[in-house]
């Protein structure tokens, strides 16, 4: 019996967070990590200068992708592009407001030309519209919905030419459960999940996958929760206490989920909403 247990122990696949997914006993001894198959791919990330978007862009670059990013501030775009190039990959970027459809779509065409095509697009920008007034609804619709749809439409001719086209839309757990941000933000994030699942069905025959990542509360310097921690400590403490892990997520944790879904390693995953929230949400996703 002991020898049987030992053989089983040696043959199982082992998950080691610090080095990635490892395979079988022979590869285990060589510390072989899973290849996501992203080297040489070309990716575009909106809102790529800070937070989750920045983490996604950097991880894509670490995996060997050429990367294009945009954000509203030219100086922040320039700094982020320089950091990406320092990783040894081609990178380009421009100051673009994604709610300006002609500017956004024009830039995507330009970025694709610079990179020699596109394999991956990650619409990440949100207006973070939380107020209940009509202006918040208009802002959120123009940025979260139209900004995403316009980006996907502009990227589509290039994705159709790719042998592994992937769309990864950044949604939110606010699209699944009503919280203090109930209103435009949650409604638009829910709509993005619906949109992505529709794309997955429509584009499967073209070998283009579409998925969403729904982050839970994510903390980084200068981000929303950092601002809440400073301006409304009681709300921050309450939000922190709601998570069974006792903490908030990190941008790089959200990025790992997005980059995996964007990669050929996830070739049979499409139409999925991947929740990354440390068990914050209580609802069952069916």
Question: DSSP assignment of 121-183, as one string?
Answer: EE---------SSHHHHHHHIIIIIHHHHHHHHHHHHHHTTSSSEEEEEE--GGGTS--TTTT
Active-site residue list: 171-172, 185, 189
Q: Kindly tell me the burial class for residue 238, based on how many C-beta atoms sit within 10 Å of its own C-beta (0-12, 13-18, 19 or more).
A: exposed
The stretches of 160-264 forming alpha helices (DSSP H) are 184-203, 224-231, 233-242, 251-262
| Residue 73 to residue 24: CA distance in whole angstroms | 47
3-class DSSP state of 17:
coil
Contacts of 195 (CB under 8 A, 6+ apart): 145, 148, 149, 169
Spatial CB neighbours of 4, under 8 Å, sequence gap ≥ 6: none
Instruction: Check residue 212 and report its DSSP letter.
Output: E
Distance of CA 255 to the CA centre of its chain: 6
Contact, 147 vs 125, CB < 8 A?
yes
How far apart CA 239 and CA 242 sit, in angstroms, is 5
The C-alpha atoms of residue 286 and residue 284 are separated, in whole angstroms, by 6
């Amino acid at each position: 019996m002991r020898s049987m247990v030992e053989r089983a122990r040696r043959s199982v696949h082992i998950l080691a967070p610090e080095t990635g997914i490892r395979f079988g006993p022979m590869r285990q001894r060589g510390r072989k990590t899973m290849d996501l198959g992203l080297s040489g791919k070309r990716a575009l990330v909106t809102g790529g200068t800070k937070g989750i978007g920045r983490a996604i862009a950097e991880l894509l670059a670490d995996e060997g992708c050429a990367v294009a990013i945009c954000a509203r501030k030219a100086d922040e775009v320039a700094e982020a592009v320089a950091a990406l190039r320092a990783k040894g990959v081609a990178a380009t970027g421009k100051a673009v407001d994604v709610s300006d459809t002609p500017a956004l779509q024009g830039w995507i065409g330009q970025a694709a030309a610079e990179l020699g095509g596109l394999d991956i697009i990650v619409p990440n920008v949100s207006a973070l519209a939380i107020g209940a007034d009509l202006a918040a609804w208009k802002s959120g619709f123009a940025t979260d919905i139209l900004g995403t749809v316009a980006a996907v439409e502009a990227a589509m001719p290039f994705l159709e030419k790719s042998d592994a086209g992937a769309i990864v839309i950044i949604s939110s757990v606010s699209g699944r459960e009503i919280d203090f941000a109930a209103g435009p933000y949650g409604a638009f994030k829910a709509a993005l999940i619906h949109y992505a699942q529709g794309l997955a069905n429509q584009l499967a025959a073209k070998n283009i996958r579409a998925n969403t990542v729904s982050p839970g509360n994510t903390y980084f310097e200068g981000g929303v929760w950092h601002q809440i921690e400073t301006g409304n400590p009681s709300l921050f403490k309450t939000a922190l206490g709601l998570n069974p892990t006792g903490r908030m997520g990190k941008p790089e944790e959200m990025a790992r989920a997005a980059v995996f879904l964007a990669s050929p390693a996830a070739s049979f995953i499409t139409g999925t909403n991947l929740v990354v929230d440390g068990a914050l949400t209580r609802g069952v996703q069916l």
